[in-house]
Amino acid sequence: MAPDGAAAGAARFDELVAARIRLSRRAALYFAGDRCEFVYAVRVGSLKSVFVTAEGREQVTGFHVPGEWLGLDGIASGRYSCDVVALEDADVCAIPYARLLEFAESVPPLADRLSRVLSREIGREQRALAAIGSLHARERLALFLLDLSERLGVRGGPVADFVLHMSREEIAGYLGLRLETVCRCLSQLAAAGLIGVRHKRVRIVDAAALRAFALDVRRHAQRADARALAPPRSVVTATARGGAAHGSPQTQRR
């Protein structure tokens, strides 16, 4: 029986892989400024994206787990914008970007898959930026753990028990927090019975309660922002009184 379009697309997608690369812990997949000739699919292990500032300070910009893509940051300019380094022993598939585009034009299911990958990556980055900009430390950490749980279990549902292969310091850099703040917040979430922590292993005890905790605070922060942007009550009252005293233009003409 001839394969359907989706199966054929998946088979041809496997043909795109030019090489399978094994990385040992702390080995770099590519560096900022390298030519973007390949995009990569993570098969095993986890990696981090790092931007090095002019002062030489490392800023973690993302973590990547099996099933996710790397190298998309280099598509627009033709050069990668950050370093990508393995957090543990990892396997990745190297896919020539030019060949990927050619296949995408001839295999609609592949083009659809590529669009969904790009959309998912953009959405995740937007959510991460929103969380860092609007949430307090514990809420940032709570959403980070929930997001990582869902990404690790993307094929079979959220994973409740997993290992953090990134260091506490790397998490702090990614979330825009201090190291001691991350350690304190992990302890507070554990004391509240929302998670369990043992060294690098994290167990989400109650995912629904953890999400409700983070989102409730987020709504509170949004309400606080709205109140901060609203004019003071005294200004509103004075404006109303001024209008009543002087009358509207129509009243003055009468």
State whether 164 and 240 are in the same domain: yes
| pLDDT at 189 (0 to 100) | 95
Q: Token pair for residue 41?
A: 């699919």
Backbone φ, ψ for residue 154 (5° rounding) = -55, -30
Give a yes or no: residue 130 inside a domain: no
User: Distances from the Cα of 160 to the Cαs of 146, 163, 178, 191, in angstroms?
Assistant: 9, 10, 26, 17
State whether 85 and 190 are in the same domain: no
Number of domains present in the structure of the chain: 2
| pLDDT at 254 (0 to 100) | 43
Upper half-sphere CA count for residue 195 (Cβ side, 13 Å):
30
State whether 73 and 46 are in the same domain: yes
| pLDDT at 236 (0 to 100) | 44
SS (H, E, C) 55-68: CCCEEEEEEECCCC
Domain that holds residue 18: 1-125
Whole-angstrom distance, CA of residue 40 vs CA of residue 121: 14
| pLDDT at 39 (0 to 100) | 94
Among the three residues 125, 154, 185, which one is the final residue of a domain in this structure?
Answer: 125
Give a yes or no: residue 214 inside a domain: yes
Whole-angstrom distance, CA of residue 33 vs CA of residue 144: 28
The partner residues of 28 in beta bridges, in order of sequence, read 85
- Biggest CA–CA distance in the chain, Å, is 87
CATH number at residue 193: 1.10.10.10
Whole-angstrom distance, CA of residue 178 vs CA of residue 170: 10
| pLDDT at 135 (0 to 100) | 78
State whether 41 and 142 are in the same domain: no
- Split the chain (254 residues) into runs of 10 and give each run's mean pLDDT: 47 80 97 95 95 87 92 90 96 92 75 70 64 77 92 79 95 94 96 95 94 69 46 48 48 44
State whether 110 and 146 are in the same domain: no
State whether 212 and 120 are in the same domain: no
Of 172, 188, 192, which is closest to residue 180 (Cα–Cα)? 172
| pLDDT at 47 (0 to 100) | 97
User: Which residues 6+ apart lie within 8 Å of 4 measured at CB?
Assistant: none
| pLDDT at 165 (0 to 100) | 95
State whether 205 and 119 are in the same domain: no
